[in-house]
Amino acid sequence: MIEAHQLTKTFKDKKRGVITAVENVSFTCQPGRIYGLLGANGAGKTTTLRLLATLLKPTSGSATVAGHDVVRESQLVRANVGFLAASTALYGRLTAREMIAYFGRLNGMSDDAIRARIKTLADELGMHDFLDRRCDKFSTGMKQKTSIARTLIHDPAVMIFDEPTLGLDVMTARSIVRFVRDCRNRGKTVIYSTHVMSEVEKLCDTIGIIHNGALQAEGTLEQLQQRYGERDMEEVFVKAVGGEAEVNAA
């Protein structure tokens, strides 16, 4: 389970002074559920996820992941989390299999457990055709699948996906969306960050709309549609953040 309470993160900039990237964000995500964090670029999605994954420390507020505090028990949080960042990089000279196995060893897994887990992930993600090819020869979709596999090699209870389909072709994006849905069906706790409205509609049990670092609205798809009197998710989003001018400003 993930619980965020009044999470706030500020940064100091020499020219602009104090910048608030995330402000008083609170939400929960339970096992077997997908929490969708929906927002435009620069809205605060990635900063929020980095706080939960212990890559950043909150300026104020708190959060627990799998029962562990993200500041006081950061190592235990990391052991229970798989965090896929939008800018994940791979070692070009390694094959996909070697890349995934390397991260399995970093997580203290035995060789037998790594082999079994790689086979499972390759089955689920459709990776067998390129498992033993070097990463520097991969398409964008192959790289993303390898990144997902290395992130989830230790089978974490909590999965955090930051724009996982960004830049992918339709078929690869569909396979990743299907994989994320399967994670939920296996009882994982999933946070899914995106700006793609159709993915939110297909995947998310609860949707949090974030804008200018603050959570502007939260609820199921049906609840948000009723609240804003719109069936189209794009129209719901625009109304939730205050209109076209606010979206363009972001």
CATH number of the domain that 127 lies in? 3.40.50.300
Write out pLDDT tens, residues 28-45: 999 999 999 999 888 899
Confidence of residue 88 (pLDDT cuts 50, 70, 90): low
CA distance 122 to 145: 9
Domain that holds residue 10: 2-249
168 has pLDDT over 90: no
- Helix boundaries (H) for 93-159: 96-106, 111-125, 140-151
Greatest extent of the chain over all pairs of C-alpha atoms, in Å: 55
Q: Please answer whether residues 22 and 59 qualify as being in contact, where contact means their C-beta atoms are separated by less than 8 angstroms.
A: no
**40 contacts 250 by C-beta, under 8 angstroms:** yes
Rounded (10°) CA dihedral 57, 155, 158, 227: 140
Q: What is the mean pLDDT of the chain?
A: 91
User: Domains in the chain: how many in total?
Assistant: 1
Distances in Å between the alpha carbon of 120 and those of 66, 80, 190? 24, 19, 19
Q: Is the pLDDT of residue 204 over 60?
A: yes
Burial class (CB in 10 A: 0-12, 13-18, 19+), 201: middle
pLDDT computed for residue 211 by the predictor? 95
